Amino acid sequence: MSTIYYTLTDEAPMLATYSFLPIVKAFARSANIDIEAPDISLAGRILANFPEYLNDEQKVPDSLAALGELATKPEANIIKLPNISASVPQLEEAIAELQRQGYAVPNYPAEPKNDEERAINQRYARVLGSAVNPVLREGNSDRRAPKAVKNYAKAHPHRMGVWASDSKTSVAHMDDGDFYGTENSTTVDSDGKFRIVFYGNDGSEKVLKDLAPLKAGEVIDSSVMHLSALRSFVKHAIDEAKEQGVLLSAHLKATMMKISDPIIFGAIVETYFKDVFEKYKGTFAELDINPNYGLATLFEKIAGHPREAEINADIERSIENGPAIAMVNSDKGITNFHVSSDVIVDASMAALVRGGGKMWNKDGKEEDTLCIIPDRTYAGFYDAIIRDMKQNGAIDPKTFGSVPNVGLMAQKAEEYGSHDKTFQMSGTGTVTIEDENGNVFLEQQVQDGDIFRMCQAKDAPIQDWVKLAVTRARLSDTPAIFWLDSGRAHDAQIIKKVEKYLKDHDLTGLDIRIMDVKDAVSETLKRARAGMDTISVSGNVLRDYLTDMFPILELGTSAKMLSIVPLMNGGGLFETGAGGSAPKHIEQFLNEGYLRWDSLGEFLALQASFEHLAQTQGNKKAQILADALDTANAKFLETDKSPARRVGQIDNRGSHFYLAMYWAEGLADQTEDAEIAAKFAPVAEAMQENEAKINEELIGAQGKPQDVGGYYHPNSEKAFAAMRPSATLNAIVDGI
């Protein structure tokens, strides 16, 4: 018996799983494949980390740790759906929901006061931010648009906004004092250990991270964001936006960069509302208001306070006197400064570029904006794209080429800001990265409030990354460009390794180049506008940004990408696309029983998963399932059975029905396995004969609020009932 691990995650993808998983299990049984659904949701991760607070019936296994162990084994076959990279407000909401459900998990002590609270805080740190991906990604990323998806996008192009050459939209970034400017980097010669130590100018000494292993050949970095330079830059950006008469917007990744970016977000909020924070300093201290959590938490904490109206009036006055703030939701009055987890740079900037450089103002109208992206490490990528759009206009999806990505991410490579090596300083002095004998690898001068971070990228993943890039370039006969900035300390070390390891491969007939990011943007867009494909080969964070930007330009969404992670020990991790739209889709479902989430990413990942089983375990029936699913995916696109836009039309559940029907048809028609054909012929016939009735039952369930028992931790029975409302379809599927 082979096993595929189909992860249960969060929000819209989680809801979709309750509809799709019974179909997958029923079909997979015909190839002697078992489907397990380990829970790696935010709520599941919380419960797994605090077993002693739960009764025996409430305890859950640590599925994430188990999958992390599995990912290092050759038999691994994991389908990973988008999950919440939790911000502190999301964590607190999930904790409150679990407590309401009777789970006595502790509150999150954001600012721990004693050893017990510090211990709880550290355990919750395992749940915050990008907690899942570093554990599972024991391989590098191969992400691309399948041919059928790309062809569909060309034949049915999505709407693009118009870029004006005189657009005032621009990117504002720091020119000094940022991570880019302060970064230093080195390659470690031999195995050993390191620790991070703060030496205060007052003679104090504090170990920030105790001894941890280093491997020969790995690249390590350190960098600092100076808080005073950040605040000065933000003040200048505010003045510039006011002078230009454009919206002001912040674009960070506070979910992934869980230490650094919330602090940067807070500095932006506090600088914009400087007068308010100074005037009410005492009140805000009394209410424990932290600007890092944004305006939403501020408004919650002042609610009912005697000075609430006065504070609200001063906030409004600041907005009236300053540049207008871009909105996340104009109808609800939610600004770009409300919640740090709403400020997701890869999603927000891709939407901005697709939309012609516009964001929404408070009246729900589009305006140009000044985009605050403080750190130059990645700001240059977005700046170069905006400059290209101004010069050459919006792209045409009908003729635009494709930009697949090969991303370095194995073994936690370049996990900036989402790990245990990022700190905010509480004094002035020097931070060193040193070996067990006190020999210093790297050091940084820091001041109170500065953000220090260290990063690692091991040598074996870098070698594997180069090999994967060469393999993809040869298999697809496509040029590959390594996006590496020679002016950046870390990238300079990586360039040396890339140049070294490329020599291990036969590059005859291949076009493989190394280019600075701004030049790579220009060359890639030039080729794509001419209809040509170019593989982008990038580091981990840039991979994250590229694999939202280009799919959204090419396809209108990043959810339809095929994302394969060939694990370094022979297993496979199959990711299903980005989850940026997941929160709004679950909200729509809970309000009106309509789920717009598109599961095409799951369909594509499942096909690749079956193929992997066939290739690695000799399961011929798995290949038959994969081939029939490939046919079904193509027909699914041709007949446009993705969720529509509004109640009364096909939604996610209807799209699952059509995929199942097309899949059953493909299995019934194939001639390689008579047993499978005989099994699925009556299934296909039953679905065809009952198509109208099934649609009636599925669409009839729409239009009313849904109770699934929880946002973060739903009740399984309620969720299955809500997501499987067609008794006719259920009987056919359950009878396979």
Q: Which residue has the tokens 């195995």?
A: 191
Question: What digits encode the pLDDT tens for the residues 187-221?
Answer: 999 999 999 999 999 999 999 999 999 999 999 99
Alpha carbons within 13 A on the beta-carbon side of 110: 16
- Same domain, yes or no: 695 and 581: yes
Phi, psi (deg, nearest 5) at residue 147: -55, -45
Give residue 572's pLDDT: 93
Give residue 561's pLDDT: 82
Dihedral Cα 599, 605, 611, 615, nearest 10 deg: -160
Give residue 420's pLDDT: 86
**Would residue 36 count as lying in a domain?**
yes
Alpha carbons within 13 A on the beta-carbon side of 385: 23
**Would residue 378 count as lying in a domain?**
yes
Domain-terminating residue out of 392, 426, 459 = 392
**Would residue 380 count as lying in a domain?**
yes
In the chain (736 residues long), the average pLDDT of successive 10-residue segments reads 94 96 97 96 97 96 96 95 88 96 96 92 88 87 88 91 96 98 97 97 96 96 98 98 97 86 96 96 94 94 95 96 94 92 88 96 96 96 97 96 95 82 96 96 98 96 96 95 97 98 97 97 98 96 92 87 88 81 84 93 94 93 96 92 91 97 97 96 98 97 95 96 97 97
Q: Which of 9, 137, 72, 87 is nearest to 544 (CA)?
A: 137
- Same domain, yes or no: 134 and 236: no
195 beta partners: 434
Contacts of 236 (CB under 8 A, 6+ apart): 172
Dihedral Cα 75, 76, 77, 79, nearest 10 deg: 170
| Cα separation, 362 vs 320, whole angstroms | 12
User: Is the overall model pTM greater than 0.95, yes or no?
Assistant: no
**Would residue 475 count as lying in a domain?**
no
Contacts of 267 (CB under 8 A, 6+ apart): 227, 230, 231, 234, 291
Tell me which residue range forms the domain holding 240. 170-177+226-392
What DSSP state is assigned to residue 325? B
What's the CA angle centered on 348, arms 594 and 548, to 5 degrees?
A: 85
CA 712 to chain CA mean position, Å: 17
- Same domain, yes or no: 575 and 693: yes
**Would residue 214 count as lying in a domain?**
no
One-letter identity of residue 27: F
186 beta partners: 220
- Same domain, yes or no: 240 and 101: no
**Would residue 526 count as lying in a domain?**
no
Domain-terminating residue out of 369, 392, 415 = 392
- Same domain, yes or no: 615 and 727: yes
- Measured between alpha carbons, how far apart are the two ends of the chain, in Å? 18
Give residue 666's pLDDT: 97
| Cα separation, 524 vs 521, whole angstroms | 5
Dihedral Cα 547, 552, 553, 555, nearest 10 deg: 110
**Would residue 472 count as lying in a domain?**
no
**Would residue 601 count as lying in a domain?**
yes
Give residue 418's pLDDT: 63
- Same domain, yes or no: 132 and 230: no
Domain-terminating residue out of 373, 392, 411 = 392
Can you give the length of the chain in residues?
Answer: 736
| Cα separation, 321 vs 361, whole angstroms | 15
Residue 225 tokens read as: 């964001």
Residue 140 tokens read as: 């590098």
Number of domains in the chain: 2
